[in-house]
Amino acid sequence: MGGFNENINFQKNCEGWNEIANLLIQQGVDFSDESKNSLPIKRLGPMTGGVENVGYSSEKQFYTDLINFSLNQNLELSIGDGCPDEKLKYGIEAVKNQTVKEGATFKKAAVFIKPYPNSKILERIEWASEVAEYIGVDIDSYNIVTMRNLVQLEKKTASQLQEIRKTTNLPFVVKGIFTSQDIELVKELKPDVAFISNHGGRVENRIGSTAEFLYEHSKELKNYCGEIWVDGGIRTKQDEQVAKFLGANQVLIGRPVISALCEKQV
């Protein structure tokens, strides 16, 4: 799960939360008093590529294990798509066939789709209709290196995203908010969820962390969306507290869940 420019944004994501925490502490915020610092909802990040990215022998088994492990950790769910289409289909199947603990209820997932031409996105929304609680479009991944030259992806406009949004009654998420252009898109579209993300540092983009972007732009974004979600380098309870303090309703966690899953499997 590498990234551009020697993984600079992955590193900045991990460092950014502590840097922003220290800045807030200097401003008088006390994160040591947990009674005054609530935590955001935690959700599994949408990840695919168990064979090439994680080293699983079976792509299908990866999604089954990841979904059930996340449920056991009381995480909300997400699935994503990729190339080939089986990645999304296996994720959908894993959510459908989840192992529900005694006394628990079936959990649906936030479904994130790459920025294909709209007709293809609508097809994927239909595939996921039984398991989706949110529909999201990964707007930054038109530039993701691992899918370049494999499929047709587009840099989406607000009008294109609005066309998709009108087809579903589910909350609509725009994932990949990380530039001033993205903020303008949120202002025009007014999505249910603005998801601050730089794809874990894997997309060629400006250099920076999601923590600093949340710190600088959350108040502005809150005026144009229902909720803010964020991912990237979130590793500790204090990281979660910082995200919540800055206005994030949910945080999404990827690599740590995979690390814990693989450690358990070993």
The pair of three-digit structure tokens given for residue 70, joined into one six-digit string = 């996340």
Mean pLDDT of 28-33: 91
Pick the CATH number of 4-18+38-265 from 3.20.20.70, 3.10.150.10, 3.40.50.740, 3.40.50.720: 3.20.20.70
Catalogue the E-assigned strands of the chain: 41-44, 77-80, 109-113, 132-138, 172-177, 193-196, 227-231, 250-253
- Where do the domains of the chain lie? 4-18+38-265
Strand partners, 203: 144
Mean pLDDT of 108-114: 98
Strand, helix or coil at 177? strand
pLDDT (tens digit, 9 = 90+) per residue, 133-176? 999 999 998 877 667 678 899 999 999 999 999 999 999 999 99
pTM of the entire predicted model:
0.94
Q: For position 4, what pLDDT does the model report?
A: 57
% of the chain at pLDDT higher than 90: 77
Task: Kindly tell me if the per-residue pLDDT of 266 is higher than 50.
Answer: no
* Angstrom distance (rounded) from CA 83 to CA 242: 35
